[in-house]
Amino acid sequence: MNTFKLVNREIFRRKVNYLIGFAIVAITTAIVIGTLSLLKIHDLQTAQILAQKEAELNERVLVLQDDYRKISLELGFNLLIIPEGQNLGNFYADDFASKYMDESVTDKLVSSRTLTIQHLLPSLTQKIVWPEQKQSIILIGTKGEVPYLYRNPKKPMLQPVPDGGMVLGYELHRILNLKEGSKVKLLGREFTITKCNERRGSKDDATVWIPLKDAQELLNKEGKINAILALKCHCASGTLTNIIQSVKELIPNVQVLQKNKEVAIRAKARDRAKREAKEALKAEELSRTELKNEQLRFAKVLIPLVIITGAFMICLTFIANVKSRQDEIGILRTIGTKQHTILIMFLMKSILIAIPAAVTGYLIGIFTSTISVENFELSELFGTFALIITICLAGLISTAASWLPALYASLQDPAKIIQD
């Protein structure tokens, strides 16, 4: 009778012993594969989560960019144009330019067809003493909106001060007790107060507005201005840099400042939202990595411990099997069965335990690890090659664990066994 038949008969005779060994290998394999499956699932989930968040980020960025584009097209940029030689420190301190430029420069902006400016407001501003009222004021000569002859006429955004009229800031008409309709003199010229402004909480409360032509004559600045307010500026590119460049190409000797920064603020908000989304994505990736590292540290302890425990249990099972089969071993040795045949019988049994148990443990490990996980196919975790590796390793560990008991069985003295 050959060795394989002997092993099969022994298995059928001692089913409990075989099932105990089978259970040990299957459970050990299931724990190891289940742990590795969880690590694999974590990687797949991380990839899915990051891909989803990156897609959401890209979609959000596209929405923000489109929003910024629409805002730029709708609002444009508000620019303040001042003379080139103006010291910006003094300008910011005084809030008006001390240098001057020709009023005719507005014509170049008006005639431009590459640069669109919805509203163009030249002005002349200077701080003076109102001699008739003995009061320091900021005098602004304004022309109102410069018309564009080749465009459809629109209602001016800012109404100019009417000829012979004057507009007073809140503090001035309050302190001087002046009202609409009152006639006053400024630098010897008579004006009619057409409007008294409400409190604005700025320099406007100490400002007097008169027609630009009157201001130029009273200040001896005929044909001069020191600022142009260009509102809702657009160009083909839609960017602030290109709009400023276009203005400087039309009027070389000027400085261009952004007056109303609403569009820039929205652009910064867009960039900040984009940056925060990227940081959130990076934080998510870091969090997932830290969790993976914790799982790896746990797996590095668990897997060796489970394998060693399983191997030890297999060894004990085979020791018990050898003890229970001593009479059989003695008979086999008496009838001439060689030592290596006895050794092979026990090792073969360990392999016959390991192969089906490894397959069973492999499937149990993957199945149990995916019970609470959705959207994962079993094929995504491990394939045929992984199953083959599992069977080989299980067979190797089972064989190694049963080696000493098998060797002990093969070295038994048949005469001593029969005598006992």
Same domain, 151 and 247: yes
**CA–CA dist 81, 257 (Å, integer):** 6
- Asked if residue 288 has pLDDT above 50, the reply is yes
Do 236 and 299 fall within a single domain?
Answer: no
> For residue 221, is it within any domain?
yes
The whole-angstrom separation of Cα 149 and Cα 320 is 109
Of residues 156 and 354, which shows the higher confidence score? 354
- What's the mean pLDDT when you consider all of the chain? 79
The pLDDT of residue 270: 61
Residue 183 CB-density burial (10 A; 0-12 exposed, 13-18 middle, 19+ buried): exposed
pLDDT tens string 142-178: 886 555 433 444 444 455 788 899 999 999 999 999 9
Residue 285 and residue 362 in one domain: yes
Q: What is residue 155's predicted lDDT score, i.e. its pLDDT?
A: 44
Share of the chain above pLDDT 70, in %: 78
pLDDT, mean of residues 223-231: 85
Residues 206 and 285 in one domain: no
109 pLDDT tier (thresholds 50, 70, 90): confident
Q: Containing domain of residue 32, as a range?
A: 3-56+278-419
Give a yes or no: residue 351 inside a domain.
Answer: yes
Q: In which residue are the tokens 């959000």 written?
A: 60
Judge whether residue 132 has pLDDT over 80: yes
Same domain, 204 and 339: no
- Give the distance, in angstroms, between the CA of residue 319 and the centroid of all CA atoms in the same chain: 60
| Cβ-contact 104, 82 below 8 angstroms | no
DSSP 1: -
Total count of domains within the chain:
2
Q: Which amino acid is at 123?
A: S
Q: Which two tokens stand for residue 171?
A: 């503090």
The answer to whether position 257 is within a domain reads: no
113, part of any domain: yes
Chain centroid to Cα 153, Å, comes to 47
How many Å apart are CA 268 and CA 265, to the nearest integer?
Answer: 5
What are the residues facing 121 on neighbouring strands? 229
Same domain, 30 and 130: no
On whether both 230 and 291 belong to a single domain, the answer is no
